[in-house]
Each structure stands twice: as C-alpha cells, then as structure tokens.
Structure 1
Amino acid sequence: MATGRDYRGMTAEQRLADRRERLLTAAYTLFAGAGFTATTIERLCASARISNRAFYECFTGREDLMRAVYDRCVEETILAVSKAIGEAPGDPDSRICAGIREYITFVTRDLRRARIMHLEVRRAGDILTAHRQRAVKGFTEIIEQSLGDLPDGLPNLTHLLALGVVGALQELLIEWVLAEERPPLDHLIETAVHIFRRSFGT
C-alpha cells in the first residue's frame, strides 16, 4: 500500500493512527460521561479535533468506535488480572483472590473504565452483545484455568460456577458505579471473595 506523502513528519498511516487514537480518547471520556446514546459523531469529532470525514476513515460509525473502546478496556483489564494471578502463590484460592482484588481495583481506578465496562456496555444494547459475551468468556476462562481440580462433586459445574462469579463481579461493579454513596472497595472485594469461596468450597 502506498504510504502517501509525509505531513508534519507523519506518514499517511501515522496520521490515520493518530486520528484513531484521538477518537478513542475522546470516546473514552464522552461515552463514560454523557453516555453512548447521547454522544454524537459531531461531538466526538469536536473533542478529537478532526473532521467528520476523517472520522469515517477511522471507524464505520459510532457503534464501531464504541466496540473499540470497550474492547480496549477489557483487554487492559485482562492483562492486569492475568499479571496479578501470575504473581500470586500457586494455590487456587490465592490465585483467584488476587485476580478478584486486581479486577475490582484496576477497573475502579478510572471511573470511565468502570462505567464503560459495566454500565454503557448494557445501555449500548445489541451492538455490544457479542463483544460482552466474549469478554465474559475471557474472564470465565481465567477463573477456570486458575482453579485446577475442584473438590469432589463439583467437576461438572466448573464452567457455570466460574460464570456465576464473573456475573457477581459485574453486578457488584454496577452497584458501585450507580450508588450515590459508593461502598468501600474492600467491601466489594470481600463480598466477591466470599461468593467465590462459597461457590467452590475453597
């Protein structure tokens, strides 16, 4: 592919990447603030300081941009959780508890991330269904891989129990995002760990 002429020291590909990154940054703030449904392409372009035409060189539409923002939030969270689990002691209880703590701590470190991953993903509706399901699958697989062998009587329930823990984490974070008086993060972590231990008998 032809790179095009340089402009202010940037190739055509670099300019496109720069515009895309500026749109992702603008969307990260606007989708988490005003919300996905209330954020227009015009507002996104104004915030990113690009033209409407340039927008469509980067994304097919608002929905495509929302998917990209959500996927990045999920990817960053999975990396943080996987790192925490990898650095924890080798027993399943320590590994999962480390993962739960890191998930809650990392996601809530930036309210925008928490809102996009646990509120706007639902408000956006069908456009994010497949992406949300893929994210749930990813976090569920992390739990399953970290558990190893379960106590007798539970081996056939591993997937569903792990899915239940992920669902509980998401609901706890929705409560945190929407609450007028947010519960302390330690309370969320203790609750999630309790649910995990009661589910798996660790």
Structure 2
Amino acid sequence: MDTTSDESDVPRITEGIFFTTPPKLPRGPHRLSREEVLTTHRERLMISFTELVAANGYSDAGVREIVERSSVSRSAFYDCFDSKESCAEAAYGRFISVLVDRMMSHLVHRSTQDVFRVLSTYFSALQSDLVVARAFQVEMDSAGSLTRVRRRTALRGVAELLHAELRRHAQDDPDLDPDLSIDALVGIVYAVRQLASDMLDTEVEPNLEAVVPRLAQWLDNSIHRSRPGGDTVH
C-alpha cells in the first residue's frame, strides 16, 4: 500500500461511534487530574492509530506517525502505552467492546427476530464508520497473535450468546432446532464476519447493510429443523 500520501489523505473516523475526539487540553496551568489528561491523550492516540492503519496498514503505523498525527508528545505516548502494540490492543479492544455491546443490546428475549436484529446491527455499526471498520476488520489481521486471540474470543462469545438465545426460543417454537451446535453458530459468525471484511477490502464504498436481507434467509434456514428429505420447517 502506498504510504507516501500526506496527512490530508488519511481518512478521519466518524465521531461518536467507536471513538470521540476529545477537546484540546488547555494551555498552561489547569485543574485537570493526571488521569483526565491521560484519558484525553489515550483517546487521541487510539484515534490516530486507527486512522493510520485504515489508510496505510498496520506495519506502517509506527509510534512516530501516531504521535505526529495525534499532536501528543512522544513522552506522553509512553505515559499512556508501553508500545505501539499496546496502543493497538487498546484500540482494537474498544472496537470489539462497542461492536459487541451494540449487537447484544438487540437480544431482548422475545423472538428469533432478535437474531436477525443482531445481524443487522453488526452491519450497520460497521457501515456507520468505514474507517474504523477497515482498520479492525481488514488491516488488523496482520497485527499479531494477541489480536487474533481477542478476535477469536469475541466471535466465539457472540456465537455462545446466540446459541443460548436459540435454545431459549426453542422451548416455545418447535420449528427451531435446539440441537444446533455451538460450532455451527461459530461457523455462521465467522462466515458473516468474512463477508463483511471482504466487502470492506474490495469496495471503496461498500453497502454493507444491503447484504442483510440476502443473509437473512440463509440464517433462517440454518436455525430451523429440517424435514425428512431436506426441507426446512418454518
């Protein structure tokens, strides 16, 4: 990927979705605590890291580049993070936390439509900030084992929550398959994530939300029992 572009070519996050740029710290003496100052620095550093990764890839987002883009001093960077890798871990953790929280907020224990709302929420969250989505769904795959472990843990956690919901609904809906394995749901979660990642990687302006209706039928078929002969019960 070409890294010779100037700072104006680096895309900006969408404010208030996964990250929010804090106001500039006051010049001179102020009453902010050390932790408040560090919190401000951390947010700016994570945002700059994310934007640089989305634009140029993980390997080209070094501490120097992060510091320059964030307008946070190098010494302040090391007050916040031990290394680029710890900054990456914190930023990726924010992405996962916000994404999972938004998805799980649609599990209201009422119907199997909750599962489809989770799917829709996942794609709409990514669509709402394509810079963050590209950074963490595409470029972070090369960031190392800790990030891959966090991703696997998060995806399996989503699958386990969906599995619990399906078993709950199967008590009232005889057409649902209560024996659908957790591994099957892990496979579904991975497939959905990979589809989103491929669209983010290959399309300049992907319409992620348009995929949801096409996936809904496949997901619906996956969670219902099959009749003898292969037809799905609805």
> Normalising by the residue count of structure 1, what TM-score does the alignment of the two structures yield?
0.85
In 1, the alpha carbon distance for the partners of 2:134 and 2:206 equals: 16
Equivalent-residue separation in structure 2 for 1:162 and 1:122 (angstroms): 22
1:106 to 112, 125, 139: 125
1:141 to 145, 160, 170: 160
1:165 paired to 2:165? no
Q: Distance in 1 between matches of 2:117 and 2:38?
A: 39
Identify which of 202, 208, 213 aligns with 1:179.
202
- 1:27/1:159 CA distance change after superposition, 3 Å: same
Q: CA deviation at 1:21?
A: 1.5
Q: Counterpart in 2 of 1:55?
A: 77
Residue 136 (structure 2) pairs with residue 131 (structure 1) = no
CA 1:22 to 1:84, structure 2 compared with 1: closer, same or farther past 3 Å? same
Alpha-carbon displacement from aligned partner over 1:138-186 (angstroms, at most 9, x marks no partner): 2112211221255689545420121011111111111210223655434
Which segments of 5 or more consecutive residues in structure 2 lack a partner in the other structure? 1-27, 225-233
Instruction: Provide the C-alpha distance between the structure 1 equivalents of 2:68 and 2:207, rounded to a whole number of angstroms.
Output: 36
Pick from 74, 78, 87: which aligns with 2:96?
74
How far does residue 31 in structure 1 lie from its aligned partner after superposition?
1.7
Q: Does 1:90 align with 2:107?
A: no
Q: Contact between 1:84 and 1:99, CA under 8 Å: does it hold in 2?
A: yes
Native 8 Å contact 1:168 1:192 kept in 2: no
Q: Is 2:30 the counterpart of 1:12? A: no
Q: Secondary structure at the match of 1:50?
A: coil
Runs of 4+ that moved beyond 6 A: none
Q: For residues 164 and 194 of structure 1, do their structure 2 counterparts lie closer, same or farther at Cα, with a shift above 3 Å needed?
A: farther
Checking the alignment, whether the CA contact within 8 Å between 1:165 and 1:192 is kept in structure 2 is: no
Residues 7/132 of structure 1: CA separation in 2 closer, same or farther (3 Å cut): farther
After TM superposition, the structure 1 stretch with the greater mean CA deviation from structure 2, 36-45 or 133-142, is 133-142
Amino acid at match of 1:114: A
Describe the superposition over 1:71-110 as per-residue Cα deviations: whole angstroms up to 9, x where unpaired: 1111111111122232xx7112x01011101111111210
Larger helix percent: 1
User: AA paired with 1:96?
Assistant: V
Judge conservation of contact 2:106–2:117 (CA < 8 Å) in 1.
Answer: yes
TM-score (norm 2): 0.74
Question: Would the aligned equivalents of 2:200 and 2:206 in 1 still touch at CA under 8 Å?
Answer: no
CA RMSD for the aligned pairs? 2.4
| Alpha carbons of structure 1 residues 58 and 181: separation in structure 2 relative to 1, 3 Å | closer
Q: Which moved more, 1:52-61 or 1:180-189?
A: 180-189
For residue 59 of structure 2, give the secondary structure of its aligned residue in structure 1: coil
Amino acid in the other structure paired with 1:143: L
Give 2:20's aligned residue. Answer: none
Contact persistence 1:165–1:195 (CA under 8 A): no
Q: Which runs of 5+ in 1 are unaligned?
A: 1-5
Point out the structure with max Rg over C-alpha: 2
CA change 1:173–1:60 in 2 (3 A) is: same
Identity %: 23
1:25 and 1:56 map into 2 onto residues whose CA distance is 16
Q: Give 2:215's aligned amino acid.
A: A
Greater shift after overlay, 134-143 or 189-198?
189-198
Relative to structure 1, the CA distance from residue 186 to residue 36 in structure 2 (aligned partners, 3 Å threshold; closer, same or farther) is closer
